[in-house]
Amino acid sequence: MPTIANYRGIIPAISTPFTNDNRIDEPALRKLASWLATHDGIVAVMTNGHTGEVFALDPEERAEVTRIVADELKGKLPVISSVVCEGLTDAAHHAKLAKQAGAVGIDVMPPHHWLRFGFHADHATTYFQNIYDAVGLDLICHVYPAWTRASYSSALLADLARLPYVQAFKVGQRDMSKYARDIKAIRDADATKAILTCHDEYLLASMVQGVDGALVGFASAIPQLIIDLWNAVKAGDLHKAMAVQAKITPIKEAVYGAGEPTGEAHARMKAAMRHAGVIANDHVRPPTHAPSAQELEVIKAALAQAGLLKA
């Protein structure tokens, strides 16, 4: 049986607030998680994604972030934790820590040595099986961009969709042709599996292709706009969807520019969250760079245009 009842909607990959001396800011993280939970349309929250600066966190800190969020959202929303590791033993250990901390689903990022060396399809299926055997929780397949060597073929995605414990796909191909083929492959293999766009930088274009929602870090910053966009897409109201996207686009440009999410983009998103009154401190851990003064002015102008500028 699935450990999460509903993946269809908006799932923020939550940002991790830090103190100026690089500690996890527990009160701020609790406040952010609670605030996200007040938004109708958010169906879960994910910790330890790229937006959460997962690569700046050690294994115990990753578990601590999940513990804080899961404790804060107990009885309100389920919590998913990403696992990003390099081997089977490591992945099982991280998944167990996440489960002990309160996660009820695991987002499985591909091991990052695959980015350099590639992989065989059975490497991926073995990796997923190993994590499931360790914790018995729902798994979410995190699909990396098509240009990387860690990209999954359509055939492999279909195989993963047939696994009973893989309940959802976080799809971020950054190649709209492959995106469409992969969605069809997953649907043909098992139409019950949820497909969630993670294209923060072009939400509307990716939402209209028959997905079930979005699992994006950007929803940590502007959840209501993304919920409004998704509701308009679901209703088939393209004019309203375009109007909402028009509010999102300047903020998207200020945060992501013309590229994909990066560490510096996540720092710019934290700055946007601070100026929108979502968090009080936008500190990022080194070596990620904080936004420049010029970038901050662009961020504030974009928030003002959307009516979100608070400070």
The C-alpha atoms of residue 149 and residue 157 are separated, in whole angstroms, by 15
The C-alpha atoms of residue 107 and residue 169 are separated, in whole angstroms, by 9
pLDDT at residue 257 in the model: 85
Helices marked H in 8-80: 26-37, 59-72
What are the residue ranges in the chain where pLDDT is below 70?
A: 258
pLDDT at residue 25 in the model: 98
pLDDT at residue 192 in the model: 97
Three-state SS at 138:
strand
pLDDT at residue 263 in the model: 77
The C-alpha atoms of residue 292 and residue 275 are separated, in whole angstroms, by 14
The C-alpha atoms of residue 204 and residue 252 are separated, in whole angstroms, by 12
Three-state SS at 57:
coil
Cα torsion 79, 213, 114, 175 to 10°: value is -160
Question: 213 is written with which tokens?
Answer: 């929602």
The C-alpha atoms of residue 69 and residue 46 are separated, in whole angstroms, by 9
* Radius of gyration, CA atoms only, the chain: 18
pLDDT above 90 coverage of the chain, percent: 97
Segment 43-92, tens digit of pLDDT: 999 999 999 999 999 999 999 999 999 999 999 999 999 999 999 999 99
pLDDT at residue 262 in the model: 79
Question: 100 is written with which tokens?
Answer: 């002990």
The C-alpha atoms of residue 77 and residue 6 are separated, in whole angstroms, by 10
